[in-house]
Amino acid sequence: MAGPSTLWYPLNTVWLTVDMANRLSKIYTRTGDDGSTGLGDGSRIQKDSLRIEAMGSVDELNCALGVLLCNPLKESIQSMLIDIQHTLFDLGGELCIPGANVIHMDRVKVLEQQLDALNADLLPLKEFILPGGCNAAAACHLARAICRRSERRIYSLSKAETVNPDSIKYLNRLSDLLFVMARYLNREAGHADVLWEHDRSK
């Protein structure tokens, strides 16, 4: 069993030992001053590597969801977003250990079910929409755009190294969910979708 200063973090069949007391009591270590950073398997890679770019994008997405959660939201939406944040943290852990597989299709299916439920009562879209509306919807659109970038970063990594394909599927569905959620949040706030006016400049 792990002691009070040690966290055992299971990643499939991989057990990552982290000395949490040492890490949290000293924020800076200077180990990254040479432009490298450590992975969960103990190896070190460059900070601008494809893997670190992917991890950073997922972290940024999680932060964007944290901003979204600062808005007044229905409890069901809050719970959904917090669950997603935990999954994204798991995804970051998966990326931190090359070869790990944490995200599986069951999580993708959950997103699909949530997406269908939110979309059921929305009016069909006949025009492109712009990101905006109420504060929560705008924050949701920003998270959606970051999610798309995270998906692209992991796809780029997959062309150079083996990547769990279910993780790419998860982010793909999540971006769709966030798009629909933004529309849902605008409707709940009494805002209409912000429509793109293709002839506005005329």
141 contacts 193 by C-beta, under 8 angstroms? no
The confidence score (pLDDT) of residue 31 equals: 64
CA 84 to chain centre: 7
Q: Does some domain include residue 30?
A: no
Could you tell me if residue 19 is inside a domain? no
The boundaries of the domain holding residue 122 are 47-195
Which parts of the chain sit beneath pLDDT 70? 1-28, 31-34, 36, 38, 201-202
Domain count within the chain = 1
Alpha-helical regions (H) of the chain = 20-25, 50-68, 75-96, 105-119, 135-158, 165-188
Spatial contact of 179 and 127, defined as CB atoms under 8 Å apart: no
* pTM of this structure: 0.85
Is 158 part of any domain? yes
Query: Is 144 within a domain?
Result: yes
Which DSSP letter does residue 34 get?
T
- The burial of 91, by beta-carbon neighbours within 10 Å (0-12 exposed, 13-18 middle, 19 or more buried), is given as buried
The CATH number of the domain holding residue 76 is 1.20.1200.10
Positive or negative, the CA dihedral 35, 41, 43, 48 is negative
pLDDT at 14: 37
pLDDT tens per residue across span 28-85? 677 666 676 767 777 787 777 899 999 999 999 999 999 999 999 999 999 999 999 9
CA dihedral angle for residue 61, residue 64, residue 69, residue 75, rounded to 10 degrees? -30
Whether 31 maps to a domain, the answer reads no
Structural domain includes residue 134: yes
- SS3 for 179? helix
Res 137: pLDDT: 98
Asked if the structure places residue 58 within a domain, the reply is yes
Whether 90 is covered by a domain: the verdict is yes
Which secondary structure element, helix H or strand E, spans residue 73, and what is its range? none
